[in-house]
Structure formats: C-alpha cells, structure tokens
Amino acid sequence: MKNFWTIFRKRLFSTALILFLITSFIFLLLRLAPGDPTQRFLSPELSPLLLEKIKKSFLLDKPLLEQYLIFIKNIFSGEFGISYNYRIPVMSVIWNTLPFTLIFATISFSLQISISLLLVFFISQRRNSLLDRLLGKINLVFYSIPTMIVGMFLIFIFSLQLNLLPMSGLHSIDFDNASVWDKLINYSVHLILPLATLSLPGIIVFYGYLRNNIDEVYKRSFVLFLRSCGENEKIIFRKHVLPNSVEPLISVLGTELSILLSGTLITENIFGLPGMGRLIVDAILTRDYPLVVGCVFVSAILVIIANTVADVVKVNINKRLASEYFE
C-alpha cells in the first residue's frame, strides 16, 4: 500500500491532467454533436414554449462556454449533476451498475490469467509440438477478431444451434421463485457465454506473450549454466524461467485489466447484462450528457488505478525499478 501511494503521488499531476482532458473532450464532443436531449420529447402535442422550458431545465439554453464552466465547477465539487433519464444524481445511477461490471471484469481477468498459465505449464513440457504451433498460429487471429464477432459466433453455436446456453440476460424469468442454490446455478449458466466472449481473446494474447518471453529466457546464459550443472528441467522452468518471464507481462496485464474495467461495453450490450458498459451506450443513445460524462470519468479513474497497481507489482518484483520511484 505504501508503494501504491508513493507511485500515485508521483503521477498525481499527470493523473489529474488526464482526467480533466478526457472529461472536457467528452463534454465538448457531446455538445458539438448535432441534436440535443430535448429531441426525444418532440411531439405535435408539445408546444414550443414547453420545449424551451425543458431546454432551460437541462441548462441547454445557455452558451456553450457557460455550460462548460458550470460543468468544471461541478467536477471540482464532486457533482456530475442529475441524469436526464433517471432523474436522480449521476453517481447514484453509476453505483447501481458499477459493482456488476467490476465483478464481471475481475472474474474474466482471473480466468484469463489462470487458463493462460495452465496452458503455458502444459505446453512447456511439449515445446514445438503440434498444439504449441497451433496456438502460436491462432494467437494473432483471436486478437484481431472483434469482441462482437466472438460473442455473436458463440450465441449462434451454443444458443441457436445447440440450444445449450441462454443467449442473453443475467437470469431466467422464474428466477425469483428458485432456491439459493438454483439461483447460483442460474447466474453461472447465464454468465458462461459472456465470460467466454470477454476472456477468450485475452487468454490467447496472454499465452502468446508468456510463451515468447519463455523462449527468450531459455536463451539466456544462466539457463545454460543451470543445465550444465545437471539441474532438473522442471525445476529450471518453475524456479528460474517462469519468474523471469512473468515480469514483462505485468505491463500487459495492467493494460488488459484497464480495458476490461472500461471495455465490457460490447459484451454487456450483446448479452443484455446490467453493467456500466450497457449504461454508457444507453446514455449516449438518449443524449444523457451528465451520465455519459460521469461514466467516462469513473472509467478513466479505473484505468488509472489498474495501471498504477501494475506498476506497484512491477516495482515489488524488480527492485531496480524501485529506485526510480523511491530514490
């Protein structure tokens, strides 16, 4: 924890600047886009006078610069305003959906790490085998396929063709009448396809990075020395090769975690999950300006925290990096 706050203090200015620029860019981009939230109230029965009152209630009748100054004031006071759609404070709306996204992203991240490590352990004893070469070939293919395509393909195979798994939602219609155990099973079944969609590309990418790092470590002189001393190959891999291969991967893990925290957007919308990713899309489509800015701000904070945690882990593993922060 001490390392975390030390690194965070080092980055405090750049962190504040990034948050300010991101939120300001989103604010200006939304305001400069054609249309406004009052368009969804357009109706032959709606008088122009009432329409002007609605704009005034949203502060859309003020000049753009004045709107921006009010926005900056609210940011510094920790207020993002009232959601146009939900009629409650923006942060209250976000807190209702953020826990699911955090849990969903954390489970996916844990699956990516554990499965990729298991693959590496398995392949390490079968280097240059058919499976090893096959995984190397599909690494780039899986990474380049959009998440939406992966999700739609899994839905087509396992939901439409095989009818094995539900295609959307977090639980079934009769969920409320089920027992606790049945509810857990119901949740788990509904999350299989979303977790697979979100995790598959990351598993392949992590495996590819780790596999390449292992090949590089095996070429180092200390590995040849250990072999010449008669050290067991499994011990060399477990105690020397793998620890030296994991360190360069930590930066990638931090980036992937930040992408998961802010990028479950597509998966949540494909499968109709009640997370912050779906909330952002709904807010954009309905031009709920305060809610969009609030979601972007929270997502940016999560990305910064994830990368800071990755730096803390790297510092604790590599003591040479510690001098850059603590000297």
Residue that wins the pLDDT comparison between 236 and 323: 236
Q: What are 307's two structure tokens? A: 């990368």
d(CA 141, CA 271): 23
Position 70 in a domain: no
Neighbouring CB atoms inside 10 A of 160's CB total: 9
Residues 6+ apart with CB under 8 A from 242: 120, 214
Residue that wins the pLDDT comparison between 174 and 299: 299
Q: Write out pLDDT tens, residues 92-140.
A: 899 998 888 888 888 888 888 888 888 887 777 666 677 777 776 777 6
Q: Which of 64, 271, 246, 235 is nearest to 147 (CA)?
A: 271
d(CA 268, CA 247): 31
Position 77 in a domain: no
Residue that wins the pLDDT comparison between 195 and 135: 195
Residue with tokens 């406004």: 36
Domain that holds residue 116: 90-326
pLDDT band at 182 (very low <50, low <70, confident <90, very high): confident
Q: Look up the CATH number of the domain holding residue 241.
A: 1.10.3720.10
For residues 300-320, average pLDDT:
71
Position 299 in a domain: yes
Q: Write out pLDDT tens, residues 263-303.
A: 578 888 888 888 888 888 888 888 888 888 888 888 888 87
Q: What is the pTM of this model?
A: 0.80
42: enclosing H helix or E strand: none
Position 47 in a domain: no
Taking 60 as the threshold, does the pLDDT of residue 321 lie above it? no
For residues 148-163, average pLDDT:
87
Of the ranges 12-21, 53-62, 63-72, 98-107, the best mean pLDDT one: 98-107
Position 26 in a domain: no
The number of folded domains in the chain is 1
| Residue 304 C-beta-side C-alpha neighbours within 13 Å | 22
Position 14 in a domain: no
Instruction: Please say whether the beta carbons of 247 and 317 come within 8 A.
Output: yes
Neighbouring CB atoms inside 10 A of 279's CB total: 28
Position 193 in a domain: yes
Neighbouring CB atoms inside 10 A of 284's CB total: 15
Can you give the pLDDT at residue 73?
79
Distances (CA, A) of 258 to 33, 290, 297, 309: 28, 23, 13, 10
Position 49 in a domain: no
